[in-house]
Amino acid sequence: MFPLNTWYVAARSEEIPTGRPLGRRICNQPMALFRSSAGQIAAVEDFCPHRGAPLSLGRVEGDTLVCGYHGLAMGCDGKTVAMPCQRVRGFPAIRSFPIHEEHGFVWVWPGDTAKADVAAIPKFEWLGNPAFAYGGGLYNIGCDYRLMIDNLMDLTHETYVHSTSIGQKEIDEVPCQTRVDGEQVITERFMTAIEAPPFWKMALRLNGLPDEQLVDRWQICRFTPPSHIMIEVGVALAGQGGYAAPEAVKAASWVVDFITPETDTSIHYFWGMARKFKPQDQALTDSIREGQGKIFAEDREMLERQQLNLLAWPERKLLMLNIDSGGVQSRKLIDHMLAAEAHT
């Protein structure tokens, strides 16, 4: 269903404070994520070896996670350290997971620990780059992670699902182009001399640009396995070079999509926008995050109802059109990863 020998975003850094753990299910595996008193992140099975209680209901003391049921203290490596009035040497260890924190995100490797390599965590232009401002959030959505990938690699749905914010008829009218570049799928669409939709009119105003003029608009979706999608989006005043226009006449951003499977039919969806204009303006970041959050909330009902339909009629074959090519090629890369894991 989903690759395991890979890195997924498990949480945003601020979700894991010092002192208390965070329970999160990733790829069907319940995990307890916690931060030691020194700030070090750890991840272990959310299962106390004593009576099976969830460790995520406990508390953090120093470098240990203390079970909230009977006080068993668990180390970052999954080995029991202590328990009141008990000898713990023979206690079975629970699984610990490779984990890494960087640039405000916590990444976890749910597969074979021996194969985990921090160098394999994907790098993106906006991560840790002071030229960008980032604001985002997290939604839990009841759908197969591949349905969200399909959604993001085919932006023609914007005309209908997001008709009052970023949708417009020109998205339907201008065909997209899809290509595979190594281990990445790229789908792109360029629109010229059109009226900016409401969200982008707002972005133009916030960047000190007129919103009544025609614009050139672009959408460049990049899928990186197992489930990361970065979408380069923006508008420039028409006739100024479009995607290649000077920064002074455009509003451009990266839509950030980290899709982490929770179960076979649910996901943790880490969404956001990395903005390349006025990066120091926190009020602007907050305003864009609020608007973007409303847009992505519109996808949730559609995807969850789609998932219910697919479960109700599993025998029905879905149509594949030219607009689906981004999702189709992305699924091929996922299938390649799954096949490789099956033979190791």
Task: Look at residue 163 in the predicted model and tell me its pLDDT.
Answer: 74
Predicted confidence (pLDDT) per residue in 274-333, tens digit: 998 889 999 989 988 998 898 888 899 999 999 999 999 999 998 888 888 999 999 999
Matching CATH topology for 8-120 and 133-342?
A: no
User: Could you tell me if 69 and 48 are in contact, meaning their C-beta atoms sit under 8 angstroms apart?
Assistant: yes
User: Could you tell me if 195 and 235 are in contact, meaning their C-beta atoms sit under 8 angstroms apart?
Assistant: no
Task: Look at residue 238 in the predicted model and tell me its pLDDT.
Answer: 96
Encoding tokens for residue 104? 């405000």
How many Cα atoms occupy the beta-carbon half-sphere of 70 within 13 Å? 14
Distance CA 248, CA 231 (A): 21
Q: Taking the domain 8-120, which CATH number applies?
A: 2.102.10.10
Q: Mean pLDDT score of the chain, rounded to an integer?
A: 93
Encoding tokens for residue 28? 């069907």
Domain boundaries, the chain: 8-120, 133-342
Distance CA 89, CA 308 (A): 48
User: Could you tell me if 34 and 8 are in contact, meaning their C-beta atoms sit under 8 angstroms apart?
Assistant: no
Task: Look at residue 76 in the predicted model and tell me its pLDDT.
Answer: 93
* From 122-131, 145-154, 266-275, the region with the lowest mean pLDDT: 122-131
Task: Look at residue 322 in the predicted model and tell me its pLDDT.
Answer: 84
- Residues near 92 by beta carbon (within 8 Å), at least 6 away in sequence: 49
Encoding tokens for residue 341? 């894991």
Encoding tokens for residue 190? 């360029």
- Beta-bridged to residue 73, according to DSSP, are 66, 82
User: Which segment, 22-36, 84-98, 159-173, 191-205, is predicted with the most confidence on average?
Assistant: 22-36
Q: Taking the domain 133-342, which CATH number applies?
A: 3.90.380.10
pLDDT confidence band for 38 (50 / 70 / 90): confident
Task: Look at residue 344 in the predicted model and tell me its pLDDT.
Answer: 72
* From 83-97, 177-191, 258-272, the region with the lowest mean pLDDT: 83-97
CA 233, distance to chain mean position in Å, is 17
For the chain, the straight-line distance linking the first and the last C-alpha, in angstroms and rounded, comes to 16
Average pLDDT over residues 117-137: 93
How many helices (H) and strands (E) in the chain? 6, 17
Task: Look at residue 175 in the predicted model and tell me its pLDDT.
Answer: 87
Distance CA 100, CA 257 (A): 19
φ, ψ dihedrals at 72, nearest 5°: -60, 135
pLDDT confidence band for 226 (50 / 70 / 90): very high
Angle at 277 between CA 165 and CA 245, to 5 degrees: 85
SS3 46: coil
pLDDT confidence band for 93 (50 / 70 / 90): very high
Model pTM score: 0.93
pLDDT confidence band for 140 (50 / 70 / 90): very high
Predicted confidence (pLDDT) per residue in 172-213, tens digit: 888 899 999 999 999 999 999 999 998 899 889 988 999 999
CA 298, distance to chain mean position in Å, is 17
Distance CA 99, CA 67 (A): 21
- What's at 186, amino acid-wise? I
Average pLDDT over residues 212-219: 96
**Backbone dihedral region for residue 85 (phi beyond 0: left; psi -120 to 50: alpha; all else: beta):** left
Distance of CA 276 to CAs 132, 195, 232, 251, 290, Å?
5, 22, 11, 8, 17
Distance CA 326, CA 107 (A): 25
Burial label, 234 (beta-carbon count in 10 A; 0-12, 13-18, 19+): buried
pLDDT value at 223 more than 90: yes
